[in-house]
Amino acid sequence: MTDPHLPPPLPPMPGAPQAHRAVDPGAPLIRLQCQWCQSMNEPGALACRTCGAPLDVKDMVSDSGWREAPRIKDMTEIHFGASTCQVEGEIVPVAEINLGQGDSVFFEHHVLLWKDDTTAMSVLPLTGGVKRALAGMPFIISVAHGPGRVAFSRDATGELVVLPLHPGQELDVREHAFLLCSHTVQYTFLRIKGLRNILFGGNGMFMDRFIASGTQGLLLLHGYGNVFERTLRPGESIQVEPGAFLYKDASVTMDVESIKLTSGLFGGTSMNLARMTGPGRVGIQSMYVHHSTE
């Protein structure tokens, strides 16, 4: 019997992986679909093999339609390529990567927590270095190559958001919010359009863009506080504190709008909110980076 409180099952994403274990062709096909990333998992699995979300709990959806990013259990293991990622800790979680031969991950160097002495490092070739430097984006993106172990964390209480990128998916991420990404994902950045969006949007001049072109990839973000996701229908919009924006599908547009607030003789101020318009996913963090609206 279907629980009326549960949201309807999400349609499978294009390219979402199927159950990995071979099953008896004569037996009925039972697969567990992850409610976070829609990947299929073998029967009996406790956590999603692709994103680590617990499979045995109800999807936490608020009345207003926000889904909480799944609380990944301590020591959960996630698989990508020939590598694994183990999520350790809960208050400031650590992503510990065991890189297989031929695999690599790229990251901003300040999130590196520790690594094996033997894990090889290099630098990701980037275009637009001067623009990045002027915009306050990291000038160098580092790459760690397998085999070997390397671990990452950020410097504040929050949640680790695991976003498997299926082929064809494009995701825009707030600058400095990405923790690491697998080498199969293409990394670029896009300039935020409009002077108002740059000055009052709270996201700087650029956003990171991650594109999974040929094969599936893995992207890990660190959101401050709790992380919530909502899927907007075509044309549906929502206004978000700019500092709370964490990620969005490339199909979602973002425009900053001002609300004028007055206080009599003492003038007033304006409150800037980012209007996000669907279709697509929007992710926010509850401990936002507050930008002065004075």
Partner 1 sequence: MNLDQPSRTYTCSWCGLTSSGTDLSCSACGAEVDVRAVVSRSGWTVLPGRRDMAKLQFGQSFCQIEGTYVPVADMNLAASDSVYFTHHVLLWKDPAVAVTSMGLKGAWKRMLAGMPLIMTQAAGPGHIAFSRDLPGELIALPLQHGQTIDVREHLFMVATNAVTYDWFASNIWFSTKEGDETETHYPLGMFLDRFTAQGVPGLLLLHAGGNVFVRTLEAHQTILVKPTAFLFKDTSVQMRLHIEKPAGTWRSWRSWGDRYFWLRLHGPGRVAVQSAFEPMEDNGRTLVDHSGATHRQW
Residue 214 beta carbon to partner 1: minimum distance, rounded to whole angstroms: 35
* Residue 57 interacting with partner 1 (CB under 8 A): no
- Residue linked to tokens 């494009």: 170
Contacting residues for 76 by C-beta, under 8 A, at least 6 apart: 47, 52, 86, 87
Per the CB < 8 A criterion, the answer to whether 270 and 242 are in contact is no
Site for partner 1 in 78-107 (CB under 8 A): 91
Helix, coil or strand: residue 110: helix
- Stretches 145-153, 156-164, 198-206, 211-219: which one binds partner 1 (CB under 8 A)? 156-164
- When binding is defined by CB under 8 A, the residue of 101, 157, 215, 258 that contacts partner 1 is 157
Alpha-carbon distance of 128 to 239, in angstroms, equals 31
* Residue 289 interacting with partner 1 (CB under 8 A): yes
* Residue 268 interacting with partner 1 (CB under 8 A): yes
- When binding is defined by CB under 8 A, the residue of 240, 252, 254, 256 that contacts partner 1 is 240
* Residue 68 interacting with partner 1 (CB under 8 A): yes
Helix, coil or strand: residue 133: helix
Residue 264 beta carbon to partner 1: minimum distance, rounded to whole angstroms: 7
Q: How far is CA 193 from the centre of its chain?
A: 22
Measuring CA to CA, how many Å separate 203 from each of 57, 87, 113, 167, 256? 34, 27, 25, 27, 11
Measuring CA to CA, how many Å separate 141 from each of 180, 192, 193, 218, 252? 10, 20, 24, 17, 26
DSSP one-letter code for 118: T
Q: What character string, x for contact with partner 1 (CB under 8 A) and - otherwise, covers 184-223?
A: ----------------------------------------
Residue 285 beta carbon to partner 1: minimum distance, rounded to whole angstroms: 8
* Residue 288 interacting with partner 1 (CB under 8 A): yes
Q: Which is nearer to partner 1, 135 or 289 (CB)?
A: 289
Q: Which is nearer to partner 1, 141 or 238 (CB)?
A: 238
Per the CB < 8 A criterion, the answer to whether 281 and 294 are in contact is no
Which parts of the chain fold into alpha helices (H)?
129-134, 195-200
Q: Which is nearer to partner 1, 103 or 172 (CB)?
A: 172
**Count of residues that interact with partner 1, criterion CB under 8 A:** 40
Residues near partner 1 (CB under 8 A) are: 60, 62-64, 66, 68, 91, 157-159, 224-226, 228, 237-241, 243-244, 259, 261-266, 268-269, 271, 273, 275, 284, 286-290, 293
